[in-house]
Structure 1
Amino acid sequence: MRILIPLLLPALLATATAEPGPLSMRKNADGAWELVRDGKPYFIRGAGGQRSLDVLVESGGNSVRTWGVDALAEKVDGKQLVQRAKELDLTIAAGLWVGHERHGFNYSDTTQLEKQRKDIRAAVAKWKNEPAIGFWGLGNEMEGPEADGKDDRIWKELEVLAKIIKEEDPSRLVMTVIAGAARPKIEGVRDHCPSIDILGVNAYASAAGAGKAVKEAGWKKPFILTEFGPSGHWEVAKTSWGAPIEPSSRDKAAKYYSTQQLASEDSAGLFVGSYAFLWGQKQECTATWYGMFLQSGEKLPSVDAMSRAWTGKWPANRCPRVETFTSPAKGNTISPGESVAITLDVVDPDKDKVELTWTLASESTDRKSGGDAERAPEEKKLSMDSTGPNQWTFKAPDKPGAYRVFLIARDGRGAASAENIPFQVR
């Protein structure tokens, strides 16, 4: 025994101090792809974004996705993202931004191409020793969200960049992400990018069918649903003046849950996980359409839905539930100064007291494509009168224009619901 102890001690110490390694991929006994971490299957239960990571872990999540390498150094809870993720045992799909021609990048300009190659090589060299990075995410919708996917220059350049990444960091897988599951895009990656290990697809209304589309287009490697959530503002019904009608908070939550449950059914053997969008808040069409949190930090019902999907149970504190939120003004034109009625029924599953906040904003006019940054319209506090059980009224603006009335219902314990109604004054 005195001889064995010194021999075993280094191995025991190495085991005790070893850090989880990058993700790898393999086919299991059934012939299906799976990701692997430290020899064990690793199914991604992820979210795009980097705030409220403690809530992500509590909800059953295990991975975050970023879009650019600068995010790795951003402060989260007072620490760099790579450090905070390591503490929470979260992996990172580390994004490496690839140029978009709609932003001025030219895939026929050798000078721009060479600079991008050098930047990607330098970024990988800088961050490759961070244990929280599970794999690299090379580009996001660089072909263009509305493109047909037939521009081979982009796919061929992706292959060049993927090879550079693997030269610098042969230990990690490389994923690329396309906008939607259009067949020419999938075929472009399949035919021109043999160094891409994982195909990521961003999809919204059609998200549940993305796996089937990927498989039918002949993709044979792992597939991740890299963005999903409510139906996009370009995919829903609009008012007569062109304002998209935002899904209710309950409809959004149901969409997150059903997409997560259905995503793997038609892509059996390829699906290795997903990243819900967005684990944070952003202005895109409205201030509440895609964010799974309010700007003030409260979680929304979509977070509860993902917790249920990931763990099989509801979180300890659930969001207020808006059962009814209707108005004759919704999607309609009303007169200046007209009294507008709203019917609201909100309950809290935990019987918490619910506080209501009402605001009014002009319809956003700073619309961009592909998730580019937008300027948020100013919101003003709205004076509401209670006219009976579940009944409220407010006075329409005197100034003609397109507006939205927003309702935020908070439980005072970090959970909320958000609704809005578009209307026009004329």
Structure 2
Amino acid sequence: MIAVLPGCKSRTDSAHTQKVRIEKKDKKFTLYRNGKPFEIRGASGYSHFKTLKNCGGNTVRIWDTTGLQTILDSAVANDIAVVVGLPVRHSEDLAFYNDPEKVKKQYLAFSRLINRHKHNPAILMWCVGNELTFPVKFSYQPFYQAFNNLTDMIHRDDPNHPVTTTILNFNQKYIANMMLRCDIDLISFNIFGKLPQLRQDLEDFSWFWDGPYMLLEWGINGPWPGTEQTAWSAYLEDTSWKKAEIYRERYQRDMPLKDPRFLGASVFFWGNKQETTDTWFSLFDENGAASEVVGTMEYLWKGKMPATHYPDISFMLLDEKGGSDNIMLDPREVVSARIVMPESSGDFDKIQWKVCKEDWYKQNNENSTRRLPALPNVVVSEEGLQATVTAPAEEGPYRLFATVYADNGTYATCNTPFYVVGK
């Protein structure tokens, strides 16, 4: 007979001396930090902690432990709590989990790290793995054993900080397996395009699981199936202005803010990263300039409009066509490009134009994180909101980028894919 567990194995019956704990009262879960209720207003990333604090954020989520001490020092200096990710091997790597020596090495490494850092005041909780799968098959038992050994060790060695893990989207099968086979304090979701249906998913499965949860990644739709593409499968990226609108709408309309089980969320990505482009998820550029989404999050966290003004881009045209028009150019064809900005955008300092090859490189089915260089001698002239571009000589897919910078450290972005057809 299988016992159905109504929620995660909360340690609310333990002494209230824990630095961080989750308590349940009248069906409401509350996260306490240093004796006070703590609502997570978080960001996923490794940097810009001061800006996060100034915007009203209080938590950062990281995925691994590289440079952990430096990150914790910065978090302490800016009064930011940290959800520390422990990068365990993915559950699908059965060759790893069937090797006792490798599993033991992973266990000992995390044991040393946790015992080294567990007293740091910045730590909020530990997150074991990222987007793990929790299959029901018996062949995954070595993974479950290794996972449970890690969570048991953390609960034993560091009872002051809860333990979580993340799954991609809401997955009833994975949640059921976690509840029946694992011991964690709360479940975390990485969720983007399926955020609008999260409330219904939670309600539909509450008969089985009604424990606490948080979102460790949320944001706009990414460069993946379901997002609009060109004829050659290049994903179309929204302008930064449109992205800010989507972040605001999803937070206000879809975030389960009033759910008594909800402990908070971390917006993705608080920093700069390459994923198909270096602008798709990045809320900052590589030099630290802030996009409009940063101001949007300040508004959502603080409840008032930020004093900082951000430039806006309505759309870009290349050869008087948009990205959905499947722009085909001849090698070395000279075409004009322009961006359209709303009147409310105000003054700007400069516009940077560049052309890059389409980033289709993947390793182990993971997107490249290496920023592609701008091609030389492609943007031949610039004037105002316009530029003249010479198509590359080599056949293939490319993108034209325009970045508008204001003199207050903010920027706006847009890009358009095009294809050079060989002769």
TM-score for both structures, normalised by structure 2: 0.85
Of 297, 309, 313, the residue aligned with 2:300 is: 309
Task: Kindly indicate whether the alpha-carbon contact (under 8 Å) linking 2:340 and 2:385 is maintained by their aligned counterparts in 1.
Answer: yes
1:227-238 paired onto structure 2 within 5 Å = 227-234=217-224, 235-238=226-229
What amino acid is aligned across from residue 249 of structure 2 in structure 1? S
Of 228, 231, 252, the residue aligned with 1:240 is: 231
Task: Kindly indicate whether the alpha-carbon contact (under 8 Å) linking 1:285 and 1:367 is maintained by their aligned counterparts in 2.
Answer: no
Q: What corresponds to 1:183 in structure 2?
A: 172
Superposed displacement of residue 250, structure 1: 2.0
Distance 1:50 1:170, change over 3 A: same
Deviates more, 1:39-48 or 1:56-65: 39-48
Distance 1:264 1:107, change over 3 A: same
Q: Percent identity?
A: 27
Q: Distance in 2 between matches of 1:200 and 1:369?
A: 25
Task: Kindly indicate whether the alpha-carbon contact (under 8 Å) linking 2:91 and 2:140 is maintained by their aligned counterparts in 1.
Answer: no
Distance 1:386 1:130, change over 3 A: closer
Q: Distance in 2 between matches of 1:310 and 1:188?
A: 34
Of 132, 147, 153, the residue aligned with 1:164 is: 153
1:106-185 paired onto structure 2 within 5 Å = 106-143=96-133, 152-153=140-141, 154-185=143-174
Superposed displacement of residue 98, structure 1: 0.9
Q: Distance in 1 between matches of 2:365 and 2:172?
A: 19
Of 372, 394, 401, the residue aligned with 1:399 is: 394
Distance 1:187 1:158, change over 3 A: same
Superposed displacement of residue 343, structure 1: 3.7
Structure 1 residue matching 2:178: 3-state secondary structure: helix
Greater relative contact order structure (CA < 8 Å, 6+ sep): 2
1:354-393 paired onto structure 2 within 5 Å = 354-368=349-363, 373-380=368-375, 382-383=378-379, 385=381, 391-393=386-388
Q: Distance in 1 between matches of 2:20 and 2:250?
A: 24
Superposed displacement of residue 200, structure 1: 0.8
Structure 1 residue matching 2:125: 3-state secondary structure: strand
Q: Does 1:353 find its partner at 2:372?
A: no
Q: Distance in 2 between matches of 1:136 and 1:355?
A: 43
Structure 2 residue matching 1:27: 3-state secondary structure: strand
Structure 2 residue matching 1:404: 3-state secondary structure: strand
Q: What corresponds to 2:83 in structure 1?
A: 93
Q: What corresponds to 2:21 in structure 1?
A: 24
Q: Does 1:67 find its partner at 2:55?
A: no
Q: Distance in 2 between matches of 1:267 and 1:219?
A: 18
Aligned CA RMSD, in angstroms, stands at 2.6
Distance 1:225 1:167, change over 3 A: same
Structure 1 residue matching 2:301: 3-state secondary structure: helix
Q: What corresponds to 1:198 in structure 2?
A: 186
Superposed displacement of residue 371, structure 1: 5.7
What amino acid is aligned across from residue 201 of structure 2 in structure 1? A
Superposed displacement of residue 166, structure 1: 0.7
Distance 1:215 1:174, change over 3 A: farther
Q: Distance in 2 between matches of 1:104 and 1:400?
A: 41
Runs of 4+ aligned structure 1 residues displaced above 4 Å come to: 101-105, 147-152, 347-350, 368-373, 384-387, 389-392
Task: Kindly indicate whether the alpha-carbon contact (under 8 Å) linking 2:18 and 2:161 is maintained by their aligned counterparts in 1.
Answer: no
Superposed displacement of residue 415, structure 1: 0.6
Deviates more, 1:286-295 or 1:321-330: 321-330
TM-score for both structures, normalised by structure 1: 0.85
Q: Distance in 2 between matches of 1:83 and 1:128?
A: 13
Structure 2 residue matching 1:202: 3-state secondary structure: strand
Q: What corresponds to 1:11 in structure 2?
A: none
Distance 1:373 1:156, change over 3 A: farther
Q: Distance in 1 between matches of 2:418 and 2:332?
A: 13
Task: Kindly indicate whether the alpha-carbon contact (under 8 Å) linking 2:291 and 2:310 is maintained by their aligned counterparts in 1.
Answer: yes
| Number of residue pairs the alignment of both structures matches | 395
What amino acid is aligned across from residue 182 of structure 1 in structure 2? N
Q: Distance in 1 between matches of 2:409 and 2:255?
A: 32
Structure 2 residue matching 1:157: 3-state secondary structure: helix
Tell me the alpha carbon deviations over residues 160-206 of structure 1, each in whole angstroms, 9 at most, x when there is no partner.
2111101110111111111222222222222211x201111112111
Structure 1 residue matching 2:313: 3-state secondary structure: strand
Q: Distance in 2 between matches of 1:266 and 1:134?
A: 20
